[in-house]
Amino acid sequence: MIDLTGRVALVTGGARGIGRAVALQLARLGADVAINYQSSVGAATEVAGEVERLGRRTLTVQADVRDSAAVTVMVKTVTDTLGGLRILVNNAGLTRVPVMLRMKEEDWDLVLDTNLKGAFNVIKAAQRPMLKQKYGRIINIASIAGIYGNAGQANYAASKAGLSGLTKTVAKERGSRNITCNVVAPGYIPTDLTASLPPEFIEVAQKMTPLGRLGTVEDVAQAVAFLASDAASFITAQVLQIDGGMVF
């Protein structure tokens, strides 16, 4: 049984979808959880209420992860309020899906700045308390699109592939201080982020999955919880695919 009692976690983009499921799973296992959001204050407040009902401490922290100054304030708020930061889950992300020929520069910049630069900003800020503690678990939420590519998602696939390189570098830089850094790469998981995809894409995704079903946010959350635990203390710089065997 994974026990995260006494651990403080920060989940970016924790108000909805995978982030929400991760926040609640960590709380069920005993962690106190800070929930970052950019604009979904109502949804973040609801998640915080659920965390409290599980008997854990929580707070909601508004910050655009693209803004390094805001991220620095966010991490300080978490550490000052909850007394440290031992688990970081970089989940904040978005997508814009025109094919490359029609992709505007702002579509590219927005996705890369949010998904990749945002993770960089939060990891950089979170390293300070983790280095002092000589302990940290960093889990970045990527996608199998970053492994095999996906038509119409040049920006998204590039940002998620970049997360893998960032993760492996952080793992090498901070392993000596007992800080691990890993990637979870989900396959197709129905969330608000994927709701705009056409029905035929969903049908193809299911047919391509050997397990014969789509994934759930809970599938991802359980993998994140494992990597956040001491059971995964000798696992770092890895990419764990949660895709039902879709990509191999």
- Hey, which residues are catalytic here? 156
Find out whether 52 and 78 touch, Cβ atoms under 8 Å: no
Which H or E run includes 71? Answer: helix 68-82
Question: Cα 209 to the chain's mean position, in Å?
Answer: 22
Question: N- to C-terminal Cα distance for the chain?
Answer: 29
Burial bucket for residue 24 (CB in 10 Å: 0-12, 13-18, 19+): buried
Residue 213: partners with Cβ closer than 8 Å, 6 or more residues away: 206, 244
Six-digit token string for 88: 């970081």
List the beta strands (DSSP E) in the chain: 8-11, 32-37, 58-62, 87-90, 136-141, 179-186, 239-242
How far from chain centre, in Å, is Cα 181? 12
Query: Of 40, 39, 59, 62, nearest to 49 (Cα)?
Result: 59
